[in-house]
Amino acid sequence: MLAGTGSDVGKSVLATALCRIFLQDGYAPAPFKAQNMALNSFATPEGLEIGRAQAVQAEAAGLPCHTDMNPLLLKPQSDHTSQVVLNGRPIGNRDAYDYFRKEGRQELRDAVYAAYDRLSARFNPIVMEGAGSLAEINLRDSDLVNVPMAMHAGADIILVGDIDRGGVFASVYGSVMLLPPEERRYVKGIIINKFRGDLRLFENGRKMLEELCGIPVLGVVPYFTDIHIEEEDSVALAAKSAAAQRGKINIAVVLLRHISNFTDFDSLERDPRVHLFYTNNVDELAKADIIILPGSKSTLDDLYELRRNGAAAAILRARREGATVLGICGGYQMMGVQIRDPHHVEGDIEAMPGLGLLPVVTEMLGDKVTRQVRFTAADGTGGTMEGYEIHMGKTVPAEGSAATPLNRLESGQSDGCIVDGKCMGTYIHGILDNPAFVDTLLAPHSGKLAEEAERFDYHAFKEEQYDKLADHVRKYVDMPLLYDILKGKR
């Protein structure tokens, strides 16, 4: 288990690295995180929902993802409530206070333990990931994901500390010392992550930590900027530059308050033909050749905010002036004539006018659609493509309208809506990972390109990044010592 001194110390990325390393070394690894909290999710081949981070780790391990890799997923809906997804299916919304109380925790504990047991019967080693801090002592009795999970699995815990944020000695030592002796013995190693500068300057610090904690430091891993692994959190999105670039197609992703599945845009971010940025600023939206409305966990609330801050009017103006507008999932719903929520699936708002860019109407429904799909463009171009759906609600043509579908699924169903080559919407996440669709999206603006650029192969790019990440971690982590620990020799 990779456990952390806190959130965002790099556990997920290190787990991804170890999944690839163990695969390269001839083992059959699989990732596992008992409980994840994220708006980035993914649909398994069975049509069930897990956290995107575990789907990425499964990809690094060369596996199709499965709900046993992340049996419990919390999708925040506000500062106080989350949708609870158990074994891939939503079981309702829970207030944070009620969720973390001891009552009723045993049912969830039994479920995550059972998922781990099924997974560990099929794969070895299991690369487990903790959540937040290892030493949240106020939550110990209700903890499902850190030390109690490691104890159930008999897992060796490697504690990850983030030196970039400062205070690494206190956070590592404090995390270890706050554990009761019977839990402390599971912590077998320490990794210091995100180091900047000359590693030789930390040699004394490494020895001090080992003496203080009585635990070996397996490695000091330098901060990197040249390896690209899909991120779980949206914190850094707004920092991506909105300055328009000459010779490239400028794409603005509308920065929603409840943005979800923003990994939809990772492929565009790496495409050499594209400059991609995130914004809800009216002036910055005007710079874009293409505006993408992304998925949202609270579609009506985000639509209301777009009207309030002027972004909705800016999108409509950009469309009139020749920009392309694409909506994905919740963004597709927003582009329609109206969104209705008579059953209060999202909240108290029962109906709201959409942007009116597409002749469709959406009604929010309690049942969630989660599935992987294969599809072709409705006009027959581009060949077979792949993606996945995760959404609440059903979208149909508005009364008196003949909406043209964007795609045809292998099942024979239609998906999305297209008005012309510059105005379209879809429920399919991952649609931008398909080069044929990206080519179609960019085609109306190809005259802006400084020179002919090659089509971008995102799958090959990701495989290359997993190998680069594995090489980086091998270089700075004592893998022979880690193997000795896992084999019980240390």
Describe the strand order of the beta sheet including 217-222 as a list of residue ranges.
2-4, 157-162, 187-195, 217-222
Cβ pair 190, 9 in contact under 8 A: no
Place of tokens 């060949």: 383
Q: How far apart are CA 132 and CA 152, in angstroms?
A: 19
Q: ω into residue 125 within 30 of 0, thus cis?
A: yes
φ, ψ at 179 (rounded to 5°): -80, 140
Strand pairing partners for 397?
360
φ, ψ at 30 (rounded to 5°): -150, 145
* Residue type (1 letter), 315: I
* Residue type (1 letter), 373: V
CA separation (Å) from 104 to 107, 288, 357? 6, 50, 46
Strand pairing partners for 352?
339
Q: How far apart are CA 455 and CA 436, in angstroms?
A: 9
* Residue type (1 letter), 56: V
Q: Extract long-range pairs of 147-152: CB within 8 Å, 24+ residues apart.
A: 147/3, 147/179, 147/183, 147/186, 148/109, 149/1, 149/34, 149/112, 149/113, 149/116, 150/1, 150/3, 150/186, 151/183, 151/186, 152/113, 152/116
Q: How far apart are CA 312 and CA 363, in angstroms?
A: 20
Instruction: Dump strand ranges (E) for 14-140.
Output: 30-32, 35-37, 41-43, 49-51, 72-76, 81-86, 89-95, 126-128
Q: How far apart are CA 350 and CA 353, in angstroms?
A: 11
Q: How far apart are CA 54 and CA 462, in angstroms?
A: 15
Query: Residues with catalytic annotation?
Result: 329, 429
Q: How far apart are CA 26 and CA 483, in angstroms?
A: 13
- Report the Cα 350 to chain-centroid distance in Å: 29
- Report the Cα 436 to chain-centroid distance in Å: 23
* Residue type (1 letter), 376: T
Residue 178: how many other CB atoms lie within 10 Å: 15
The secondary structure of residue 284, as a DSSP letter, is: H
Q: How far apart are CA 69 and CA 75, in angstroms?
A: 16
Q: How far apart are CA 256 and CA 306, in angstroms?
A: 8
